Amino acid sequence: MSAAFGARLQQAVAEHGPILAGIDPHAALLEAWGLPDTADGVREFSQRTLEAVAGEVAAIKPQSAFFERHGSAGAAALEELLARARERGVLSILDVKRGDIGSTMGAYAEAYLRPGSPLEADAITVSPYLGFGSLAPAFEQVASAGKGVFVLALTSNPEGPEVQHARSGSGSVAGRIVAQVAELNAAAPAGTWGSAGLVVGATVGDAVRELGIDLVGTRGPLLVPGFGAQGAGPADLPRVFGEAAPQVLVSVSRGLLKAGGEVADLRAAARDLRAAYTAKAAPGGAR
C-alpha cells in the first residue's frame, strides 16, 4: 500500500504551496481558449492545464460534471487526465460529491478510489447528508488503499446554511460532521495530516467561529473553494480560518484558467497564485 494520502498531500503542500488547481472545462472557458465544446476540446483543455500546473501546485481538482456532460468520450478524457496525473506524480482530488448507502456507496468507492480502477483518483469529495456512516465504504478505501476523502461540511453556496447550520443535539450539523472527521484522523501520526479532510468555503464568513467549530482539531486538510471568482482573496484565508490556515488547500479554478490556453501563461498564473497565498497560509500569517 502506498503512503497515507494525508501525509503525501502535506508533503506536496510543503514543496509546492497550498494551491489546488481546479480543472473545470465548461463551455465558456473552452470558447475563450479557442477549443470546441466537445470531448476532444475537454481532453485538450485538461491535458494542457495539467502540463502547466505540474510542479507548481499541491494537487489538481477535476470537476467530474464538466467531463460527464460529454458522455462516454468525456469520461474517457477524465480517465486520461487522472492517468497522466499519476504518471507525472501530481495528486488528484476528483470533485464528484458522491454520497449514497450500502452497495451503491461501495460501488462509488470502487469506481474512484480502488487502485487500478479506470477512474482512480487519490481522493474524492463526498456528501454526508444521508448520514455520516453511509460513507463507510469510502473510509475503508482510505484505510486500505492509501486514499483520501473530503467531506462536505460548510459549503460556499448560499443554500448551504439551511442544513449545515441547523442544530443537531448540542451543536450544529456541520459541527457534528467536523467532529466525526476528527475521529477518523485521530490515529494519524503526530504532526501528520490525516487522510479525511473537509470542504469548507472561503466565503462562509464568521460561521466557523459562530458555530464553535474546531478545524485545527480535525488534524486534516481543508479543501476551500470560494477564492477568486467567488469573491474571497488572500486576506480571507487567515481571517476565516485563523490557526487552521496552514491546513487550507486554496482551490482556484476560474481565477487560474482565465489566464488563457497557453501553457506558459497558465504556469505563470499558477506561480503568482502560489506566491499570493503561501505567506497567508503560514502559521501566524499576516491578518
**Which CATH number goes with the domain that contains 70?**
3.20.20.70
pLDDT tens digits for range 254-280: 999 999 999 999 999 999 999 999 876
In a domain, 238, yes or no: yes
pLDDT value of position 287 = 36
In a domain, 138, yes or no: yes
- Domain count across the chain: 1
In a domain, 197, yes or no: yes
Are 227 and 255 a contacting pair, CB within 8 Å? yes
In a domain, 251, yes or no: yes
Instruction: Reply yes or no on whether the pLDDT at 224 is more than 50.
Output: yes
Q: Which of 97, 147, 258, 280 is catalytic?
A: 97
Across 58-67, 129-138, 271-280, least confident range:
271-280
**Residues present in the chain in total:** 287
Listed in sequence order, the DSSP H helices in 99-160 are 102-113, 136-145
pLDDT value of position 156 = 85
Confidence of residue 232 (pLDDT cuts 50, 70, 90): confident
In a domain, 105, yes or no: yes
In a domain, 56, yes or no: yes
Annotation says 97 is catalytic: yes
Are 219 and 185 a contacting pair, CB within 8 Å? yes
In a domain, 210, yes or no: yes
pLDDT tens digits for range 64-76: 999 999 999 999 9
pLDDT value of position 283 = 66
In a domain, 286, yes or no: no
Taking the model in full, what pTM does it have? 0.95
**Domain with 144 in it:** 5-281
